[in-house]
Structure 1
Amino acid sequence: MRVTIRRSGSGLSAYVPKKDIEEPIVKVENESLWGGFVVLRNGWRLLLPDLPEDTSLPVTVEARKIVNDAARKETS
């Protein structure tokens, strides 16, 4: 899914146009942001692509939504 990452006054946020939601990023796997997952305030985990550490924001990327293992087991 396409996601726009931007820096706001209170930190980083992610906008998902397909769902028309913007949520603050509350946790990052990698300090450089890229190539790992981020957690949004609504609980979504998104896997971001590998990009150079100095990538300027805002930027739109193709991210993957990670479904947690517990939810996956319940639906199986």
Structure 2
Amino acid sequence: MTKVQVRATQEILYVCQECESLWLTAEVMGTEPFNCFTSYMEELGLPPLWSSLYVLEPEKITGRQARKYLRSVGSI
């Protein structure tokens, strides 16, 4: 999981670089359905590009739920 900030809105998000799953908070990873990064950015009227984001914590896996999710999809 990578902690990012949307440049245009300053919103903090958590994105999987491999599958583009997206969560609004680290606490809900693995317990609530994820969003699609591309769809989410398009809903905001922004291009679904990594250049639209600031990477705050690259490839940092946060919390037990994040690790549980990543194990379930075979990322770790």
- TM range, smaller chain: 0.3 to 0.5
**Which of the pair has the greater relative contact order for Cα pairs under 8 Å at 6+ separation?**
2
Q: What TM-score do you get using the length of structure 2 for normalisation?
A: 0.35
Q: TM-score, normalised by structure 1?
A: 0.35
The structure that is helix-richer by fraction is 2
Larger radius of gyration: 1
Greater strand proportion: 1
